[in-house]
Structure 1
Amino acid sequence: MANRVNLTEERIRTLQPPAKGEVVLWDADVGGFGVRCWPSGKKNYFLFYRAGSGREAPQRRLYLGECGSLRLADARTAARRYLGQIAAGGDPQAERKEIRQREAARLDVAIDAYEKHLTGRGVVNAKTIVATLRRELLKPLGKVDAQTITRQTIVDRVAKLETQKKPGAAQDLRAKATTFLNWMVNAGLLSSNPLAGWRRDRRTRAQRTAQTGRRLEPDEIKAIWRGCSNVAAPYGDYVRVLLLLGQRRKETAFMRRADVDLGAGVWTIPETSTKNGRVHRVPLPPLALAIIKRQPKFAGSPYVFAGAGGAAMTGWSKRHPKLVEACGVAFTLHDCRRTFRSGLTALHVDRDLAELMINHVGEELIETYDREPRWRERLQAAALWETYVETVIAEGGAVRELTAKAM
């Protein structure tokens, strides 16, 4: 080893950085111990050794610490301690790597890293995905080594949600956990995914018959519209806008004033808020626009349908049953979206345009090459649907079936 010197704090402090490459000073006192210096002026202590006996043993360079942050005497002491471990057959660098891998594979650390991965890729629902993993896995299991998570562990968590009559949450956990564990395999944190090959049971005929979700009938639309006047604001107007625009419930609930152009009658949902990560422009026909305009403003609140104090509207599980009771119609918020989409079909709006209206992504190749927004046609379709709703909710008017002739 060249440049073996009596290392001192002063010698290290005055060591000049090279123009390129690195400068290495080897300690004359402790074999394999030295200091490295780079053009940036950064300096650190290291220990050079062979992991094993003989010249064929792999060479290692073990980082000990930054010069200035770690005293020379402490660095020498650490080097001697590691040399003792090496003499006994140890490999400190390999042991460090193993510790880092175990740390990275700890469930809480892995979920944090997964969140950074999703955010870096621009996944719009990254926070929702991570929140599910933390609530359904990290909270009950704790900071365990992810390698100890078995298939049965996840199966039990999913089964518990199903027992609690939460089939949607159960399926959500199954999907998100599978994707998360696949990422861990790809990141080298797991050797295999314990959920690989796990498939949902095929739905039985009874389950298909009892499936939830439906299109609202005209008399139900009328009853719901009237019932919206008898519940606490802003929930009633929020549901009315769902019926008129057919957008996703969360995207509508978190509608921001900055995204609404009242003059042009356009609501632009940014890519950070949409399910598919694409900007979506929604036409606002007169009735929907009037409802949005009449919402009270709260200082500092960005939301159109703001809750108490201007915060985002919450309390869905309490608000919706009150509306159901007020209108006498058992329905879900997603039924409003189904009704809108089904209504467009009944009004002879072509399939591609109807899907565009609710921001559904089409076939991959078509989406790649066909970027025509069809804005004029979307304006016409939105106006057509709103006109129909107005005929349904009209005071004293007969409830009309949804047909092109009725329009």
Structure 2
Amino acid sequence: MAELGITLRTVQSLGPGETIWDAGHRAAVRGFGVRRQRGAPVYVLKYRAHGRQRFFTIGPHGSPWTPERARREAKRLLGLVADGKDPADDRAEAALQAADTLLKIADQYLKHAKQKQRPRTYSEIERYLLTAWKPLHPVSVFLIKRRHVAIRIAEIATGQGAVTAARARAALSAMFNWAIREGLDIPANPVLGTNRPAAPRSRDRVLADGELAEIWAALGDDDYGRIVKLLLLTAQRREEVGSMRRTELDLENSVWKIPGNRTKNHREHKVPLTKAAIALIPLPRGNREYVFGDGPRREGDNHRGYSGWSKSKAGLDARLLAVRQKALDAGVAAEPLPDWHLHDLRRTAATVMADRLGVFPHIVEAVLNHVSGHRAGVAGVYNLARYETDMRAALNAWADNIKDIVAS
């Protein structure tokens, strides 16, 4: 173990098992050394911190570490020691932070979210965190800055639309808020302060009678066809009908009871079933829990509800266009049915019940399972029994209206 000036020549002449400590010149740094065991020489620093002698590895000789650059780094580290910091502890903390990548924290957050969120909400959060934010997965959450988030939000908006970008942004923000509450010393949520993608205007599409007749006629006698017809007749949400369970049905009393864990407002919802709606509910198939869907994924799996939404909607739109084309003279291209979504059926039912059939607004809200001043509080709870009678009358009138539309 020698005390010599650490120069390029002395470092290159260092033999296996030898160590040199910087000395013998005005720029020498106490505790700065270089040692060689088997491979390349390694620059080190020896110092005392918190009453203990510590060794810190600066790095191996070669790019980027030269004797002069390693000496400057040693001076910087000794400055930290003088300020009461321990570089070895800082490096260990940095290593821990580097291990906390976005993917790792997202996986931890999803385990938490799965216990708190409804299945559909959870699947969307999972998709946004694991797919939309995939480019940032290898990055430590301690190193993700607002600029990183803003750039990625803009990329998502360009490639997948403003709605997806806004929801991906919200999912990431919720994850960071959770991580901070879990004790990760992240200075601030990097999502805060980024621009929120402009949300599109709320849809107000109400289908005309002729459009409803076209759609009804194009539907087949399969799960999807029955589901769409039930969406129209009951005015309930897509996932509620698609995941209908046998245990929720009381066909003897013509009631479908949707539990609170499957409704948007987390309130149990009793939907009166008309004769037309009951006629669309298929007979039980084996021991299946769900009314619709493609059965278990594999042996021993739980059954699941309907899942082929996008493909089935595309097929329905193609059939609608084909019918329109057939009705036109040869050589004239038919216009497709103006853009419509399944949720438009729910809006159409509510609008027609209120405007054409004279159903009171609070009864329409009861059918939709919306909570307003009429239904909130204790009075709303006690009024539910009376509402059920009015809801049944409203849905029967709506079913008769649909019958007249499709028959015309």
TM-score bracket for this pair, using the shorter chain length: 0.5 to 0.7
Secondary structure of 2:270's aligned partner: strand
Secondary structure of 1:177's aligned partner: helix
2:213 matched residue in structure 1: 222
Secondary structure of 1:324's aligned partner: helix
Q: Which amino acid aligns with 1:306?
A: G
| Distance in 2 between residues matched to 1:101 and 1:169, nearest whole Å | 29
| Residue 186 in structure 1 maps to residue 181 in structure 2 | yes
Which 4+ runs in 1 deviate beyond 4 A?
89-103, 119-124, 308-311, 367-370, 395-398
**2:233–2:398: 8 Å Cα contact kept in structure 1?**
no
Q: Which amino acid aligns with 1:318?
A: K
Query: Which structure 2 residues correspond to residues 72-151 of structure 1 after superposition, within 5 A?
Result: 103=99, 105-121=100-116, 125-137=121-133, 139-151=134-146
| Distance in 2 between residues matched to 1:123 and 1:389, nearest whole Å | 30
| Distance in 1 between residues matched to 2:152 and 2:374, nearest whole Å | 34
Q: 1:333: how far off? A: 0.5
| Distance in 1 between residues matched to 2:87 and 2:367, nearest whole Å | 62
Distance 1:122 1:371, change over 3 A: farther
| Residue 158 in structure 1 maps to residue 156 in structure 2 | no
Q: 1:338: how far off? A: 0.9
| Distance in 2 between residues matched to 1:307 and 1:245, nearest whole Å | 23
Q: 1:285: how far off? A: 1.8
1:306 to 293, 302, 318: 293
Q: Which has the larger radius of gyration?
A: 2
Gaps of at least 5 residues in structure 2 are: 1-48, 53-84, 297-302, 322-336
**1:225–1:393: 8 Å Cα contact kept in structure 2?**
no
**2:132–2:168: 8 Å Cα contact kept in structure 1?**
yes
Q: 1:342: how far off? A: 1.6
2:228 matched residue in structure 1: 239
Identity, % of aligned positions = 29
| Residue 285 in structure 1 maps to residue 274 in structure 2 | yes
| Distance in 2 between residues matched to 1:52 and 1:151, nearest whole Å | 36
**RMSD of aligned Cα (Å):** 3.7
| Distance in 2 between residues matched to 1:361 and 1:99, nearest whole Å | 50
Q: Which amino acid aligns with 2:294?
A: G
2:346 to 331, 337, 341: 337
1:356 matched residue in structure 2: 366
Distance 1:266 1:385, change over 3 A: closer
**1:257–1:303: 8 Å Cα contact kept in structure 2?**
yes
Q: Which amino acid aligns with 1:164?
A: G
1:266 matched residue in structure 2: 255
**1:256–1:304: 8 Å Cα contact kept in structure 2?**
yes
So what's the TM-score if we normalise by structure 2?
Answer: 0.63
Q: Which amino acid aligns with 1:323?
A: L
Secondary structure of 2:369's aligned partner: coil
Q: 1:239: how far off? A: 0.3
2:60 matched residue in structure 1: none
1:52 to 42, 50, 53: 50
**1:221–1:393: 8 Å Cα contact kept in structure 2?**
no
So what's the TM-score if we normalise by structure 1?
Answer: 0.63
Distance 1:388 1:267, change over 3 A: closer
